[in-house]
Amino acid sequence: MISKVILDNSSNVLNNRATLVELGIDFAIFWPTKTGLDKSILDATNPVRALFTAMKLHDYSNQAQGPEAKCKYTAIFVASPELIITEMTAYRPQTKKGDPRMWFKYLKDFANAGDAIAITIYDKTPYLFNLSQITLSIHQNTNDHIGQILKRLAITNNIAQDLLNKLRTIARRGAITSPTSGDTAIGIAIELALGIPTNSSKKPDYFGIEIKSARSSKSSNRSNLFAQVPNWQKSILKSSREILEKYGYQRNNDHKLYCTIQALKPNSQGLYLTLAENQEILFEKHIDDGDVVLWEAETLRQRLVEKHTETFWIEADSSFDKQGQELFYLKSITHTKAPLQSQLMPLLAEGIITVDHLIKRKGSNGQVSEKGPLFKINPEHLALLFPQPVKYELITP
C-alpha cells in the first residue's frame, strides 16, 4: 500500500511543475475529485487528450463508445519507496455523448481528492507523479529510482535542449542579418545562423521542432501557425486565381489581394470568416456574394498538429545600421508542445486566429502565386492553444 503523506500544495506543486519544465519533461495535470475516486471515473481533459495524441499513446477521436471499445495500457505510479505498476483504461461511455474518460487501477491508494497528478509518456507508457505528495527536486540529481526515472524522461528532450543552447550562443554573439528584406527576413536570418537550408517544406524545421520568429518591435505582429489552401472541390471559387480576379486590386503593375480575414467583422474587401453550426466547416464569405471558399475542420486540425507538435517561437529586437541593413538580436523563446486541437475552431470563431491571403499576379498576363492562405495568431494568445507554454530569455543579466 502506498502511504498518503500530504505536503503543502501551495508551493510544492508549483515547485514540482517547475522541476518538470526545467528537465524538459512534457506533462499534463489532472485533479481527481472525491466523486471520481469513489466511482473510479476520471474525465480525460483537453490537456490530457492532447498529450496522449501527441505522444501517439491514445486518440479518443477515433475511439467508439461502449465497453467493447475500451483500451487498456500499462502505467506506472512514480512513488516512494518504489515504483508501482498499474493499469490505465481509456474509454468513452455510451451515455453523455461518450465524453472521453480514463481510470488508473489503485489510484485511490496513490492520490487523495484534490491532489495534483502529472502524467507524462515514455515509450508508450504513462508515468504518474503525485505533485502534492512528492518533492521532485530532492530526487532530481540522485540515482534512486525516482531520480533515474526523471533522467530517463528528460532524455526525450535532448533535441530541444540542443536547439535552445545553439540559439543562446547565437544571441550572445550579437546581431544577425539576412540577405533578404521584408517579413521573411528574420526567419531566414535565424535559419542561416543555425545552418538550416531554406526551403518550402511543410515539415518542421529542426529535427521535428518548428521554428517561428517575429520582431518584438512590432506589437501587431502575428505568428504563422500554418498555411492551408481551401477545399477547392467543395468551394464556390475553385482557385486562388478566381479569388484574385473577383476581389483583388491593382498596385502599380501587379494585381494583388493581400488582406487579413477574421470572424468578427468584414475587411475592406468585404470578406469575413464564419463557422458552420457544428463548427466542422470554416467558410470564407463575402458580404454581398455569400460563400467564397471553405476549409474542413479536420484538415485544419491535422495541419496544426503536423506543424506544431513542438515549436520554438522566437522573439527578436530589430534595428537598422547606417547602410540600411536590418539587424536582428535574438531576445526570447516561447517553447510549446501538443496544441489543443479542440480549441482551433473556437479561436477562429472568436477572431483570435485569423487568415491572410497573399495572392499576386505580376503584370497583366503573369502567373498567379499564393503564399497562403496563412492561419495566424498573436503570440500573446499562444497559451489559449498550447498547454503550459514555457518562455526562456536568451540573454540573462
Say yes or no: 221 and 345 in one domain: yes
At 5 the pLDDT is 40
Domain limits for position 199: 174-393
Q: Residue 221: is its pLDDT beyond 90?
A: no
What is the per-residue pLDDT across 79-96, written as a single tens digit (0 to 9) for each?
Answer: 888 899 999 999 999 887
Question: Is residue 186 packed enough to be buried (19+ CB in 10 Å), middle (13-18) or exposed (0-12)?
Answer: buried
The model's pLDDT over 154-206, given as tens digits with 9 standing for 90+, comes to 755 667 888 988 999 999 999 999 988 887 888 899 999 998 876 655 565 78
Check residues 102 and 221 and name the one with the higher pLDDT: 102
Amino acid 367: pLDDT: 84
| Rg, Å, the chain Cα set | 24
Q: Cα(108)–Cα(157) distance, rounded to whole angstroms?
A: 31
Task: Compute the distance between CA of residue 31 and CA of residue 42 in angstroms, rounded to an integer.
Answer: 9
pLDDT tens track for 134-148: 999 999 888 889 988
The reply to whether 249 and 374 lie within a common domain is yes
* Span 26-38, average pLDDT: 90
Q: What is the pLDDT of residue 7?
A: 38
What pLDDT shows up at residue 61? 87
Beta bridge partners of 331: none
Out of 156, 188, 211, a domain closes at 156
Enumerate residues 6+ apart whose C-beta is below 8 A from 327: 175, 176, 177, 318, 319, 320, 321
309 φ/ψ angles, rounded to the nearest 5 degrees: -55, -40
Residue 283 backbone dihedrals phi, psi, to 5 degrees: -105, 140
Q: Is residue 164 part of a domain?
A: no
Q: What is the mean pLDDT of the chain?
A: 87
> Between helices 185-194 and 158-173, what is the axis angle to 10°?
110
Our measurement of the distance from residue 39's CA atom to the centroid of its chain's CA atoms, rounded to an integer in Å, reads 33
Residue 366 belongs to domain with CATH number? 3.30.70.3570
Q: What is each CA distance from 294 to 54, 275, 307, 357, in whole angstroms?
A: 27, 9, 21, 14
The band of 284, judged by pLDDT with boundaries at 50, 70 and 90, is very high
Same domain, 128 and 223: no
Q: Would residue 36 count as lying in a domain?
A: yes
In one-letter notation, the amino acid at residue 315 is: E
* Closest-CA residue to 271 (of 235, 305, 251, 246): 246
Q: Find, among 163, 213, 210, the residue nearest to 187 by Cα.
A: 213
Tell me how many degrees the CA angle 388-125-68 measures, rounded to the nearest 5.
105
Judged by phi (left if over 0) then psi (alpha if -120 to 50, else beta), residue 66 lies in: left
Find out whether the peptide bond into 397 is cis, omega within 30 degrees of 0: no
* pLDDT tier for residue 384 given thresholds of 50, 70 and 90: confident
Question: What's the total number of domains in the chain?
Answer: 2
Same domain, 147 and 225: no
- Is 3 inside any structural domain? no
Q: Predicted confidence band at 4 (pLDDT cuts at 50, 70, 90)?
A: very low
Query: Strands 271-275 and 281-286, how do they pair?
Result: antiparallel
Could you count the other beta carbons within 10 Å of the beta carbon of residue 279? Answer: 14
Q: What's residue 217's pLDDT?
A: 61
Return the beta strands (E) in 146-297 as ranges. Answer: 210-215, 223-227, 249-251, 254-261, 271-275, 281-286, 290-296
CA distance 171 to 144: 37
Q: How many angstroms separate the CA atoms of 161 and 23, rounded?
A: 9
Domain closes at, from 121, 156, 191: 156
Tell me the whole-structure pTM to 2 decimals.
Answer: 0.61
pLDDT beyond 90 at 342? no
151 and 178 in a common domain: no
Residue 262 and residue 313 share a domain? yes
Contact 296, 280 (CB under 8 A): yes
> Which amino acid is residue 201, in one-letter code?
S
- Tell me the CA distances in angstroms from 315 to 213, 230, 333, 336, one per residue in order: 6, 30, 6, 14
Given 92, 127, 156, the domain boundary residue is 156
Question: Does residue 366 form part of some domain?
Answer: yes
Residue 4 lies in a domain: no
Q: What is the pLDDT of residue 8?
A: 37
Residues 6+ apart with CB under 8 A from 156: 24, 25, 26, 122
Q: Where are the beta strands (DSSP E) in 184-268?
A: 210-215, 223-227, 249-251, 254-261
Same domain, 266 and 375: yes
pLDDT of residue 2: 40
At position 91, the amino acid (one-letter code) is: Y
Q: Is the same domain home to 127 and 228?
A: no
Residue 168 lies in a domain: no
- Tens digit of each residue's pLDDT (9 = 90 or more) over 228-272: 999 999 999 999 999 999 998 888 888 899 999 999 999 999 999
Over range 342-357, report the average pLDDT.
Answer: 93
- pLDDT for 1 beyond 70: no
Q: What is the DSSP letter of 70?
A: -
Residue type at 232 in one-letter notation? W
Residue 305: how many other CB atoms lie within 10 Å: 17
pLDDT score of 10 more than 80: no
Q: Is residue 23 part of a domain?
A: yes
245 and 340 in a single domain? The answer is yes
Q: Are 120 and 27 in contact (CB under 8 A)?
A: yes
